[in-house]
Structure 1
Amino acid sequence: MPVGAPRFVVSGDGDGVASRAGVVLLRELASACGLADQVTDALADTYKAAWLHAPGQVFADLAVAVADGETSMDGIERLRERGQLHGSVVASDSTAWRLLERIDAAHLGRVRQARAAARARAWAAGAAPAQASDPDGWLTMDVDASVVPCHSDKENAAATWKKTYGFHPLMATLDRSEISCGEFLAGLLRPGNAGSNTAADHIEVLDLALEQLPAPVRPGTPDAPSILVRSDSAGATHAFAAYCREQRVGFSFGKAVDVTLVAIANAIDDRLWQPAINTDGSIRDGAWVVEVTGSPAAQPVLSAFPDSTRLILRKERPHPGAQLGLHNTTREGMRLTAFITDTPAGIVPRHVAGLDLRHRQHARVEDRIKDAKATGLNKLPAWSFQANAAWLEIVAAAADLICWTKLPGFADTPSIARTSPATFRDRVLHIAAKITTTSRRIRLHLDTTSRYAANIATGWTRLRHAFT
């Protein structure tokens, strides 16, 4: 036993003590934003008789459990076990399984509509990004795919390009840099052998993402902010760029570097390259950018893309471990990258350097995917492909509940608002509390030894007021 550590007398008779008391906040939010009621309406016709547990509440409870860090269907049992916090209305895992099996392709679309309605309610209550109310602002969607391995033979699982076995979902998230997280707008479950640059899949996930946005901010709505879609080179197909133009959203796509672009870079006068910049506006050491849209050699590269598409090159001193080859290395030994965008001049500060910085911030999508994998995405629980697609919607709802809790609840507490889901759970959801009953009212006394107890109590009150 460590020196100085107290030696406790241990017994199992504690009463009125609750662990993970902050999870109640997410359950309240799921109800307040209408997620539970909307999903119930979406799935009501799948029941032939009256239900004991409303399907929307089961869906919301699954999302809350996943947000709390559970990775399988029996995670709902953790809520059920804490009856003093959540009451006796939490469904069992067998009921949750039956719910998942009821969500076929048609009802999956209705569940997505229910999520969109909940998002509109949450944004109206104060969870919207600041740009949503600014006609000159930009909402940025990041589209990216990731491999989700599985260790058993599930429907439509296949070998992946990473030489693993599983699935290759394509996801669209809304960049929310002000709270250091993203909203999980849309996810498209695909077999493991699905192509990285399949334009049809990118078009479908963009449609699903746009449908998730509240009506006042969708493209074409008066006074709506502009929307930018970012992707790596997998999204840089002619068809997807043309579809973005058709839907009146801007694009910024990585462009695969080949010998043609290296030759263009080598032919540019050194005086035309301008320094790249960091997020704070300072000069980025060892990196330069240049626009080559007007170069005759660039015209074959741009000819199939929409009018006004711009091509920007970036060269940088290679960092340790960089993969270099003749196809992506300039004559000075610089690592060359490129991207295309249709954003006109004068829109982004610092012109070409600003466009480059904005495109490099697409790298934040890797954090969004990491967060999703830490919130249920890394394990698809069912054999059925359709049930796993429904699970993906539960994961998306879980990620959104965390995001909507941060605003407006903890906007002035960066140590909570700007955290990963794992840290958010540790600081907010897993706080302990004591339950008492006074004057016929049940009170939850948050653990005063937690440094965030007062912040959580204040944020809880703000969220309740926001939805009243």
Structure 2
Amino acid sequence: MKHNRYPHLVVDTDRSESLTSTTGAVLLRKTMQIAGLDTALSAALMPWTTSRTVHHPAKVLLDLATAVAVGGDCVSDLAIVRAQPALFGTVASDPTASRLINTLAEDSTAAVAAIRQARAHCRERVWARRRPLEGRPGSFDGGQVIIDLDATTVTAHSDKEHAEINYKRQYGHAPMCALLDHGQYGTGEPLICDLRRGGASPQGADLHITTLSAALDQLPAGERGQVLVRTDAAGCSKEFLAHITDAGLQYSIGYIVSDTIKTALARLPEQAWQPAIDTHGEPRLDAHVAELTSTIPALANADAPSWPAGMRVIVRREYPHSGAQLRLTDIDGRRYTVFATNTRGTGWTLPTLELRHRQRARAEDRIRNLKDTGLANLPFQAFTKNQIWLEIVCLATELLVWTQTLCWGPHATIRRWEPKQLRLRILAVAGRIIHSGRRQLLRLPTNWPHLETITTGWTALHTT
């Protein structure tokens, strides 16, 4: 048998080469320029700029976002970017970056609003260059913008301001997120990530209305006509659904399996059930859907506000998979999942509506990606500083997603890559910067397995 061994190498501590690491981040830098993040943030953060400013606040925030995008999770990771001036220019020191965050945190409300205004402007530019969604803007079928609202827990391993124990017995904070779903061919964008104290409830109409309004402000004006709002049962309140209906939007909201629902299920005839489908449109084994709207008795008395007109209640039943933890709401061994929607029209069958609601699980993927891009741990003790950090996390995530959108085709596999894959295969490649005439050239290793993917992305950024 042939034995393959690792080559025996010795690190030469007396000499180093002029190599540049993470050169794949040149795609992030070019995306930043195309989106206009540098100019938009510079204008938005002008009130925090003085005549003695050496490092512009916009450049510092973008350098921090770049450091987080390539794998950093705190201010000190800015050293990775600072060590490569040929690629990223002059980068502020850690104390300078910390002082800027201190300054922005003194009026975090105004600073967050300014950063979000710049992000919304740049999102409109990116979408005008290449729309990340299928279909036509504003169209009901295919071009619809889907916004998922969901709260998550960011654990704290030290005593941070407003870190509390939540209902899950976890200690930390509970940010509320509004996440845009790119569909089956892409990932998604973080529209809003609002930091909240750890004990804050994930329920409440006011919370969801405020988050949705801020998320809509992040969308290009031409994309706000056809929006679908998805949440779990925490968002199922009469006031929130009425707000969505009055705004002319669609919703697909989780619904609690209450005694009222159980009574309606008992009245439902067996022939009302239809086979549920998977993502390929094929029937799922032992999974069925049905509409409960006509079998639900009055949900409130005459003096109480009613549910909005046009609301439909749809239920899915299936046997829990092997190893799944059973719930109190399971009936006769079957699990029932209920949701409310106001979507009607040709082509929107019960199985299709149920599949669309089930795809709300993609929000968990988006949150996992956020936690892999700086959200896993909040680096500061002060609550207002961590609010600024969440905006940096959103900037870093958007840099990655916009790069995927602009560099590669709408159905390219790389559009679905998560941050870890992008960093390992695209951003982590080392290269050498050489001077030829009046030009600076970045040369990449010829044997890098994803070299063609990088060159394709670079070409697209210059030609699209």
Q: TM-score, normalised by structure 1?
A: 0.92
Q: Equivalences for 1:364-379 in 2 at 5 Å?
A: 364-379=362-377
Aligned partner (choices 450, 455, 464) of residue 457 of structure 1: 455
Residue 298 of structure 1 deviates from its aligned partner by 6.2
Residue range with higher mean Cα deviation, 420-429 or 33-42? 33-42
CA distance in 2, matches of 1:129, 1:48: 41
Mapped pair 1:105 → 2:106:
no
Counterpart for residue 334 of structure 1: 334
Q: Equivalences for 1:30-45 in 2 at 5 Å?
A: 30-45=32-47
Residue 329 of structure 1 deviates from its aligned partner by 2.2
Secondary structure of the structure 1 residue equivalent to 2:384: helix
CA distance in 2, matches of 1:292, 1:303: 20
Deviations for 1:267-319, whole angstroms, at most 9, x for unmatched residues?
21111110100010000111111001111436559973210100011110122
CA distance in 1, matches of 2:185, 2:391: 22
Secondary structure of the structure 1 residue equivalent to 2:294: coil
CA distance in 2, matches of 1:400, 1:341: 29
Which 4+ residue blocks in structure 1 deviate beyond 4 angstroms? 298-303
CA distance in 1, matches of 2:347, 2:395: 33
Counterpart for residue 257 of structure 1: 257
CA distance in 2, matches of 1:248, 1:155: 39
Counterpart for residue 126 of structure 2: 122
Counterpart for residue 223 of structure 1: none
CA distance in 2, matches of 1:280, 1:247: 32
Residue 412 of structure 1 deviates from its aligned partner by 6.4
CA distance in 2, matches of 1:276, 1:179: 22
CA distance in 2, matches of 1:186, 1:353: 30
Counterpart for residue 228 of structure 1: 228
CA distance in 2, matches of 1:57, 1:21: 19
Q: Percent identity?
A: 38
Aligned partner (choices 349, 352, 355) of residue 357 of structure 1: 355
CA distance in 1, matches of 2:376, 2:337: 30
Deviations for 1:111-166, whole angstroms, at most 9, x for unmatched residues?
11011011111111214423453533311111101000112222222111221211
Mapped pair 1:161 → 2:167:
yes
CA distance in 1, matches of 2:190, 2:427: 20
Secondary structure of the structure 1 residue equivalent to 2:167: coil
Aligned partner (choices 9, 14, 17) of residue 15 of structure 1: 17
Residue 390 of structure 1 deviates from its aligned partner by 1.2
Secondary structure of the structure 2 residue equivalent to 1:381: coil
Secondary structure of the structure 1 residue equivalent to 2:462: helix
CA contact (8 A) 1:230 1:362 kept: yes
Q: Equivalences for 1:187-198 in 2 at 5 Å?
A: 187-198=193-204
Q: 1:300 to 1:287 in 2, by over 3 A?
A: farther
CA distance in 1, matches of 2:75, 2:408: 29
Residue 411 of structure 1 deviates from its aligned partner by 1.8
Q: 1:279 to 1:300 in 2, by over 3 A?
A: farther
CA distance in 2, matches of 1:228, 1:234: 17
CA contact (8 A) 1:127 1:404 kept: no
Secondary structure of the structure 2 residue equivalent to 1:307: coil
Counterpart for residue 387 of structure 2: 389
Counterpart for residue 445 of structure 2: 447
Q: Equivalences for 1:267-286 in 2 at 5 Å?
A: 267-286=267-286
Q: How many residues align?
A: 454
Where in structure 2 are there 5+ consecutive unaligned residues?
none
Paired residue type of 2:125 = R
Residue range with higher mean Cα deviation, 407-416 or 90-99? 407-416
Where in structure 1 are there 5+ consecutive unaligned residues?
220-225
Residue 379 of structure 1 deviates from its aligned partner by 1.3
CA distance in 1, matches of 2:183, 2:274: 26
Residue 180 of structure 1 deviates from its aligned partner by 3.1
Counterpart for residue 6 of structure 2: 5
CA contact (8 A) 2:138 2:222 kept: no
Residue 183 of structure 1 deviates from its aligned partner by 0.5
Mapped pair 1:46 → 2:43:
no
Q: 1:263 to 1:323 in 2, by over 3 A?
A: farther
Counterpart for residue 96 of structure 1: 97
CA contact (8 A) 1:413 1:455 kept: no
Counterpart for residue 307 of structure 2: 305
Counterpart for residue 240 of structure 2: 240
CA contact (8 A) 2:261 2:296 kept: no
CA distance in 1, matches of 2:260, 2:325: 18
Q: 1:343 to 1:233 in 2, by over 3 A?
A: same
Paired residue type of 1:189 = L
Q: 1:271 to 1:162 in 2, by over 3 A?
A: same
CA distance in 2, matches of 1:318, 1:108: 43
Q: TM-score, normalised by structure 2?
A: 0.93
CA distance in 2, matches of 1:14, 1:285: 61
Residue 10 of structure 1 deviates from its aligned partner by 2.9
Residue range with higher mean Cα deviation, 47-56 or 364-373? 47-56
Q: 1:150 to 1:55 in 2, by over 3 A?
A: same
Counterpart for residue 63 of structure 2: 61
Secondary structure of the structure 2 residue equivalent to 1:58: helix
CA distance in 2, matches of 1:307, 1:271: 26
Secondary structure of the structure 1 residue equivalent to 2:45: helix
* C-alpha RMSD over aligned residues: 2.0
Q: 1:79 to 1:127 in 2, by over 3 A?
A: farther
Residue range with higher mean Cα deviation, 4-13 or 368-377? 4-13
CA distance in 1, matches of 2:410, 2:273: 41
CA distance in 2, matches of 1:445, 1:414: 25
